[in-house]
Structure 1
């Protein structure tokens, strides 16, 4: 891959993600429910990955192996996560993370929201690039590293789906004024981490560097995807606003949960977690 082709690839990814987040903005404007933003984002990134698998910039021809893996990863990830978020969004009036921002923006909310979503598209470029680079790896034969990527992605999708299902069942069992139940979910994977769904989401992005890194120098750039996803989840749009929301709505029950449960990386129940800025 030449530098010129790499820059063209980056531009195509950026334009595709920008268009996707413009659709997310339109969905929010029409429904007034910002939960649809993450649904559209998920499918947008998945489409970029699928396109990168079918039309890699280097013309790699191993459609039956590595490119097929990337296509399968992109489709499985986007369908599972996108449909999960869509299902959750249908049951709410707004996403509390975005709702707080929208309230603060006041009459300028439409413009501010559009800018925010285009920023999300910008920071998502490393994710799309990693998928494209994985599919474009010119190394013809699959090796142990490629099969390890399959294991990593399988564990990530299964783990995130399990965490989401456990939280959904907990919410259903503790809903309503006649059955207030427990305030904080501490069942299954949620005893090991306060955000196991975020952990497994991050884990899945490690699969693409495993597919991309090989006999060419461009593959190492795929490492930007798990680094970017960890930064977003742990420090920007994932853990901090959700922890703030949970403290506001769950109070001391959530503070006690913070003291005994790891923030991001799963640790055995009762093991003292690392102190962080949001603990």
Structure 2
């Protein structure tokens, strides 16, 4: 692994992501909606992938495969979030409204720092991409093919969960109800589960490259965030506030991720 190349790519990616998030923060300040950060957090991964495609010294087919995976997944999730958020652009999501309320008079200053931290997290989580993109070995490994297959399963699963939830919410008869159909009948958060599985696939892909084991940091961080910080805890707190007893019964009946992730 060429350490000079990887350090340069990290710096370029960090500059790009921080610049994008600075612009997004200014937009969010104008419209008073910090939820737009989620859209561009997703889109920043394709930005990093394009930088790697153009500048990384690795084996071209490997770069095309890993960067193509990242661009497709990031663009899909970012666009899905954009469609949802833009519909209510002048109505801030409750979780961000609550954060803004807690921060009080210094909310915008802290929000700028939060946006920059999101940019830094993009680069930190992109470790599997950097490791793979600088690998010059002239052939693809079975681990890379396995990672690509697992990635396809995760993207299809996440897209299916998102589509099922959107269809459920679109039906006026379901207002105030908890979505428990399709994948949502097996997991309270199938979208989050497949999102985590996608990061596992990037780790598996990176294992074929020197120092690929370092890439375990990405799925580990994502799992921690989803289970303990900004993912499931905040989502379920909001569901309990809006759906009350119906969501409590759903919690008792359906596992947090899949059956072996029982809570």
Whether the TM-score (by the shorter chain) exceeds 0.5 is yes
In the other structure, the counterpart of 1:137 is 135
Instruction: Report if the CA contact (8 A) 1:137-1:212 is conserved.
Output: no
In the other structure, the counterpart of 1:226 is 219
2:202 equivalent to 1:248: no
2:190 equivalent to 1:196: yes
Q: Give the TM-score normalised by the residue count of structure 2.
A: 0.91
Instruction: Report if the CA contact (8 A) 1:54-1:67 is conserved.
Output: no
Inter-partner Cα distance in structure 2 for 1:213 and 1:255: 40
Alignment map for 1:207-222 (pairs within 5 Å):
207-214=201-208, 216-217=210-211, 219-222=212-215
Mean CA deviation greater in 222-231 or 2-11: 2-11
Inter-partner Cα distance in structure 1 for 2:209 and 2:119: 30
Offset at 1:53? 3.0
RMSD: 1.9
Offset at 1:250? 0.6
Higher helix share: 2
Q: Which runs of 5+ in 2 are unaligned?
A: none
Offset at 1:244? 0.7
Q: Which runs of 5+ in 1 are unaligned?
A: none
Cα deviation per residue 1:10-63 (whole Å; 9 max; x = unaligned)?
33333232223212212211322222111111111221122123321xx12x21
Instruction: Report if the CA contact (8 A) 1:53-1:70 is conserved.
Output: no
Mean CA deviation greater in 237-246 or 87-96: 87-96
Inter-partner Cα distance in structure 2 for 1:199 and 1:141: 31
Instruction: Report if the CA contact (8 A) 1:126-1:228 is conserved.
Output: no
Instruction: Report if the CA contact (8 A) 1:53-1:131 is conserved.
Output: no
Shift in alpha-carbon separation, 1:215–1:274, aligned structure 2, 3 A: closer
In the other structure, the counterpart of 1:274 is 262
Q: Secondary structure at the match of 2:237?
A: helix
In the other structure, the counterpart of 1:258 is 251
Shift in alpha-carbon separation, 1:114–1:182, aligned structure 2, 3 A: closer
Runs (4+) off by over 6 Å? none
In the other structure, the counterpart of 2:68 is 72
Q: Secondary structure at the match of 2:126?
A: helix
In the other structure, the counterpart of 2:228 is 235
Q: Secondary structure at the match of 1:206?
A: helix
Instruction: Report if the CA contact (8 A) 1:42-1:81 is conserved.
Output: yes
2:34 equivalent to 1:41: no
Q: Give the TM-score normalised by the residue count of structure 1.
A: 0.87
Instruction: Report if the CA contact (8 A) 2:22-2:116 is conserved.
Output: yes
2:158 equivalent to 1:160: yes
